[in-house]
A and B are shown apart, each in its own frame.
Chain A
């Protein structure tokens, strides 16, 4: 996973609320057995309209996406994060996310920034003409017009994103604690391990 610290560039002023993962990547794209190449299917239904935002020359390869409340709701498909990544998105800025989506985003090196609607409204304005700067280290979003918004992020997620860390390797360091839990269960709740009679 590519580390992420500072991202500067055009931001797609998408702004819609309750954008579900079926909109981000329709189900027919879920038939792949690979993580690659899903950018083609990203927002496919919306992009059928030739005037869609995503394919305007100024927003092609834009690294930032601005959205409304509850972004990424619905299905758990990680294909949504893969598709955004393949489209070139490194940062999403929205007032809130579905829990599953924000987890999937972080695991794929995409930073989900949470900012209040008032900040989103301002960034939507700026995004129409100018680039936006996101700094994960200082947890700030800034514009060329002296706007400065700070955001919160879970410290563990921040550390993983900054370092591009693979979570499985981190967890494997806790092998002894996992084994101890398994032994405790085997002793106190042996019925928890399924067997066919």
Chain B
């Protein structure tokens, strides 16, 4: 009998092309997602060295990061130009590079366009048991369907384009087991914020995290994508959730998913991937779902998490002196005083979107809170940015767009938007944003912006009251 293996070890073993004497492995990459920001230098490198793309059929390109989320076509259906010259140049580079190298390309105005990490699973391009890379750290997202997926730098993008492989050291394994039923108002986002607060921003460094336990099993695929998306915020390069009946039902019939007899063979394989009984992890953290409240960040690291019922911590409440210094800096940047109740923090901006929280279930959760309500007067800017054109169409078919616009929120075109301050959607300096994105770093949503990470339902609640709010007060 073979040694019991974890999900990670099974996927790793199936992709080793060559093992070097020092333990470094040449790993085959099944899927490569490409966007406009981290690829131009890689394509330029290929051209300079006269190389081609080894497997264009395993590569899919879509622009997302710096596309404006305002209308992309005029009334006559003509494409509108991008005002920012540098963004326009990056988009133009991808539009040239994709056909030049024979890569499938989803155009900025196509119905299927969207955030690369929304598009991959939605199209069935991302599959369980595969290795998936993209020049973006939130590639960890695809671990939600059981793929070993991680972000890479531009040199690695070039390496994968040229060779369809990467040279990697095996990671250590970490299990984060969440058991029990979550309370009302607690979503996948609250689960991953709570996990990040518990393990810390470097808690998973050098590890691949597998999320296990009844709480994770009970999540939809979209919820699992939200959890795995933020594996990187805990320092892990990748997250994983074992594929199961929920995953298989989600993937069936998607455009790139296997069909017919291939489908049956794929399902049989995916079902064999779960961690074997008796397999061990290098590290295990156990979390009781009953301890997870609707959560919010107070600082400038994603580990700075408190329950919405909590208060801003004092820097000297941390044992580690360097954390004390970091917390003091964070509070100065965030303009917060220790002891302030999180629910008393006023909010001027609302962002519902990003690869973490822009899928249809996220929009439904936000709409459920906003239905029949209106944003508070002090909320100056509130936008809802669907993760893809298909999510947008689905939301419109369900009338969600009307709920948002009736509540005073703007309904936008798909893209990365205000998650990362590299397109026109930015939070003004000194102002706060209740944001469903994944990072609250200094200047992340624009220079001087102050980000509070929350779930879509919590962002909607903050829109209604104009302050960080316990969503449980607004739901039955």
Contact = CB atoms under 8 A, between A and B. Distances in A.
Interface in B139-174: 139, 150-156, 158-159, 162-165, 167, 169, 171
Contact of B41 (A33, A73, A98, A171): A33
Nearest to B89: A33
B255 interface: yes
A104 B137 CA distance: 12
For chain B, the bracket of interface size reads: 35 or more
Contacts, number: 190
A91 to B, nearest CB: 18
B44 A33 contact: yes
A18 B49 CA distance: 36
Given A22-B439, A23-B442, A156-B24, A76 B153 contact: yes
Contacts of A73: 201-202, 235
Contacts of A81: 153
B442 A22 contact: yes
Contacts of A28: 421-422
Nearest to B207: A99
Given A30-B422, A107-B156, A178-B28, A191 B258 contact: yes
A177 B206 CA distance: 27
Contacts of B135: 76, 78
Given A45-B443, A156-B167, A168-B159, A31 B206 contact: no
A33 B93 contact: yes
Contact of B169 (A154, A170, A177): A154
Contacts of B86: 31-32
Contacts of B54: 178
A185 B49 CA distance: 28
A74 to B, nearest CB: 6
Interface stretch (B15-23, B68-76, B454-462): B15-23
Contact of B206 (A26, A75, A99, A170): A99
A103 B156 contact: yes
Contacts of B90: 31, 33
A70 B22 contact: no
Interface stretch (B213-221, B259-267, B403-411, B467-475): B259-267
B354 to A, nearest CB: 13
Contacts of B38: 30, 76-78
A108 B137 contact: no
Contacts of B256: 194-196
Contact of A26 (B40, B152, B158, B443): B443
B20 A156 contact: yes
- Band of interface residues on A: 35 or more
A189 B237 CA distance: 26
A31 B422 contact: yes
B202 A18 contact: yes
A30 B90 CA distance: 10
A97 B271 CA distance: 35
A20 interface: yes
B265 A189 contact: yes
Contact of A69 (B44, B51, B322): B322
B436 interface: no
B122 interface: no
B322 A100 contact: no
Contacts of B58: 193-194
Nearest to B87: A31
B326 interface: yes
Contacts of A192: 30, 127, 130
A16 B333 CA distance: 15
Nearest to B266: A191
A196 B257 CA distance: 8
Contacts of A167: 155, 159, 167
A88 B6 CA distance: 43
Contact of B235 (A31, A35, A98, A108): A98
B265 A197 contact: no
B169 A174 contact: no
Q: What 9 pairs across the A-B complex have the smallest Cβ distances?
A: A78-B153, A191-B258, A76-B151, A31-B86, A191-B262, A33-B40, A104-B153, A70-B202, A27-B422
24 contacts: A20-B439, A20-B442, A22-B441, A30-B37, A30-B422, A31-B86, A31-B89, A31-B422, A34-B41, A35-B154, A76-B137, A76-B153, A78-B154, A78-B155, A97-B205, A156-B20, A167-B167, A171-B163, A171-B165, A172-B162, A172-B163, A174-B26, A178-B54, A193-B57
Given A45-B443, A156-B22, 18 more contacts: A18-B201, A20-B442, A26-B421, A31-B66, A31-B90, A33-B93, A34-B40, A35-B41, A68-B322, A69-B202, A76-B135, A76-B136, A156-B24, A170-B167, A178-B54, A191-B265, A195-B256, A196-B255
